[in-house]
Structure 1
Amino acid sequence: MAQPVFSPPLYVGAQRIGDLLFVSGQLPIGHGGLLHSGLVGEEVSVEQAREAARVAAGRCLDVIRNELGSLDAVKGVARIGGYVASGQGFVDAPVVIDAAPRTILDALGERGHHARLALGVASLPLGACVEVEMTVQC
């Protein structure tokens, strides 16, 4: 019988290129597991999705701390991308994703101002209602 072939992960939590750190998409996973799974506007309310966006943004900050040693190493935030698993006719992805930049601005102050993407999608990994990714200058 052939032995299974194990390979390294296909992606990393963050990739640094020059003075930019690209943080992989983060799901709203807390101590109790995935927060608020399902489609926003159907199984998940806007307020629940905003809470999930805050948690996902916090996970981005955790990745940055882990990679750079401290948030003090962040010179600025280039971009935040937010993805919202949207139910039929749901068009308020920007309202949901607004909670992520607030979390980033609270943590980084003026260095947290950024360009942003807020996009509604049909589904996200593990059934998450929100996913957030970031690019920071360090």
Structure 2
Amino acid sequence: MSEQQLAGVAPRPQGRYVPAVVHDGIAYSAGMTPRRDGVLTVAGVVGRDLDLPQAREAAGLAARNAMAAVAAAVGGTAAISRCLRMTVFVACTRDFRDLSAVADGASDVLVESLGQDALPVRSAIGVYALPSGAPVEIELTVAVAP
């Protein structure tokens, strides 16, 4: 993902919130789903409607949206000193256990954008449902360069 792609417009909120907030040198993204131009690209439950490769791809797109939101708030990826925390929510069946593998799709985007040393701590959490029927939602917290 190029600096130009990330320095563009933050994803449009789907409710009454802002895409990202910067406070005291930390930027926080809102929860981002796999949308392009405001349209959910994939919906469903992982393990029922989506397989692991589809879920990883959806997580990657959601992570790109989270990075775009943060980059727009801080003036581009050059202003990000490192990622601190990423939470990956996965709408999945009760017996789906590959949550970390889904989250790796999002981590791959962070490495592609900022390099291996920017990887954050991470949680991957299975949930019953996400907004608009999205299969994944990503929240990202980053440190802003002084």
Give the structure-2-normalised TM-score. Answer: 0.84
Equivalent residue runs for 1:2-41 within 5 Å: 10-31=16-37, 33-41=39-47
Please list the CA deviations of residues 51-109 of structure 1 after superposition, one character each: whole Å capped at 9, or x if unmatched. Answer: 10010010011112211111000011100110000113111111111110110111001
What letter matches 1:37 in structure 2? A
User: Is this contact kept in 1: 2:71–2:80, CA < 8 A?
Assistant: no
State the alpha-carbon separation in 2 of the partners of residues 101 and 26 from structure 1.
14
Percent of aligned pairs sharing the same letter: 33
What letter matches 2:75 in structure 1? G
Which of residues 66, 79, 83 is equivalent to 1:77? 83
- After TM superposition, which residue ranges in structure 1, 4 or more long, deviate above 2 angstroms? none
The SS at the match of 2:31 is strand
CA 1:13–1:31: 2 relative to 1, 3 Å: closer
Give the structure-1-normalised TM-score. Answer: 0.88
1:11 CA displacement: 2.2
Match for residue 102 of structure 2? 96
Larger Cα-atom Rg? 1
State the alpha-carbon separation in 1 of the partners of residues 87 and 47 from structure 2.
20
Q: How many residues were matched structurally?
A: 130
State the alpha-carbon separation in 1 of the partners of residues 16 and 39 from structure 2.
22
Provide structure 1 residue ranges, at least 5 long, that are not aligned to the other structure.
Answer: 1-8
